[in-house]
Amino acid sequence: MFLRYKEWVERELAQAVPKPPGSQMYSVLRYHLGWADCHGQPAKEPVSQGKALRPTLCLFACQALGGDPQRAGPAAAALELIHNFSLLHDDIQDRDVERRHQATAWSVWGEPKALVAGNAMQAVGDLALLAGARRQVPAGTTLRVSDMLTESYLEMIEGQCLDLDFESRTTISTDEYLHMIACKTGALIRCSLEVGATLGGGDPAATQGFARFGRCLGRVFQIRDDFLGIWGDPAATGKAVGNDIRRRKKSFPVVFGLEHATGPAREELLRVYRQDQLSEADVDQVLAALEGVGAAQMSQQLTQDNADQALRELEGVCLPGWARAEAEQLVDFLARRQF
């Protein structure tokens, strides 16, 4: 699926982002997207933009329902730009210095300009949707899609706010956690499919089927991400075992551990997460406590349950054979990926 839409996505993105000469703001955008170096010059070897999951899902849903993916191109670009806007701001908040094997925008241009460039990325995404979609889609549909995108984007922001709140808390229920990721990660993934289905001409039932599929897919994606952040193979992820523990991230296994550990193991977890910095011995303690409650198996189980559910949600939607096969491959890939 990713290969099928790779060129589409790249072309739509290139069309969506303006190139006014001499504007530093647009240089920051193009740098973050891997197209320009830190002087604003075209990158000699464009840096990989990752999987482009969201626009791919959007184009797939459109085509799976018999629509011309051309119609969904501007919305697909908007989804990727809004995702990248959140990455630009996330890097500032997390003080991350590297993303996609290059220095983060804030670490090159400073925080204020990266913040402002993030806002610009979001606006460029909105404009892409408004201008592009208008060319091929009735105004009423464009408005509906614009509404969906803005709603899901607001949900994503609410999720970011909840996530920030979790940083200072040690009692978070699994349900609270699942709500947070449904907002932070799930909303835009669900929206990608919903928007694609809408632009593909899907009837309300099909569009809702894709939306529910997307809701499950968001959980699959994030819980697998959380698993890899702790137990991923360092050779595949490029990060040490226990990386997310060291960063004190309240990811699913940790939330589950804090909820289910008892006695001294629980005390130990609470002690560790009350600290500002973790030692390697702390990391080992947490790994042992998570093993004690079976957090890794539970993560994998939850991922698989949602993967199964995702495919069930598509059962009622009438799809051509190629689309159903690709949906299955996608779910399988997201549930089992190593990086």
| Residues facing 99 on adjacent strands | 102
Return the number of the residue (121 or 211) whose C-beta is nearest its own copies: 121
Of the residues 93, 279, 297, 329, which one makes contact with its own copies according to CB under 8 A: 93
Alpha-carbon dihedral sign for residues 97, 98, 103, 109: negative
Q: Please give the Cα distance from 15 to 32 (Å, whole number).
A: 16
Query: Smallest distance, Å, CB 245 to its own copies?
Result: 21
Q: Is 122 left (phi over 0), alpha (psi -120 to 50) or beta?
A: alpha
Residue 15 makes contact with its own copies by CB under 8 A: no
β strands within the chain, DSSP E: 98-99, 102-103
Residue 236 makes contact with its own copies by CB under 8 A: no
Collapsing DSSP to helix, strand or coil, 103 comes out as: strand
Say how many C-beta atoms besides its own lie within 10 A of residue 7's C-beta. 9
Range 148-207, binding its own copies (CB under 8 A)? 150-151, 153-154, 157-158, 160-161, 164-165
Q: How many residues bind its own copies (CB under 8 A)?
A: 39
Query: Smallest distance, Å, CB 113 to its own copies?
Result: 6
Of the residues 43, 47, 115, 296, which one makes contact with its own copies according to CB under 8 A: 115
Residue 338 makes contact with its own copies by CB under 8 A: no
Residue 30 makes contact with its own copies by CB under 8 A: no
Residue 119 makes contact with its own copies by CB under 8 A: yes
CA nearest neighbour of 252 among 204, 280, 290, 199: 290
Return the number of the residue (99 or 266) whose C-beta is nearest its own copies: 99
Query: Smallest distance, Å, CB 28 to its own copies?
Result: 8
CA nearest neighbour of 122 among 155, 84, 96: 84
Number of H helices and E strands in the chain, helices first, is 17, 2
CA nearest neighbour of 249 among 283, 294, 291, 281: 283
Residue 108 makes contact with its own copies by CB under 8 A: no
Return the number of the residue (33 or 334) whose C-beta is nearest its own copies: 33
Residue 280 makes contact with its own copies by CB under 8 A: no
Of 36-44, 110-118, 191-199, 219-227: span binding its own copies (CB under 8 A): 110-118
In Å, how far are 23, 35, 255 from 39, measured between CA atoms? 11, 11, 42
Of the residues 52, 61, 87, 92, which one makes contact with its own copies according to CB under 8 A: 92
Angle at the Cα of 200 (from 194 to 203), degrees rounded to 5?
70
91's CB contacts (< 8 A; 6+ apart) are: 99, 104, 105, 106, 107, 114
Residue 97 makes contact with its own copies by CB under 8 A: no
Return the number of the residue (91 or 313) whose C-beta is nearest its own copies: 91
Return the number of the residue (147 or 315) whose C-beta is nearest its own copies: 147
Residues of this chain that bind its own copies (CB under 8 A): 23-25, 89, 92-93, 111-113, 115-117, 119-120, 122-124, 126-127, 130-131, 134, 138-140, 142-143, 146-147, 150-151, 153-154, 157-158, 160-161, 164-165
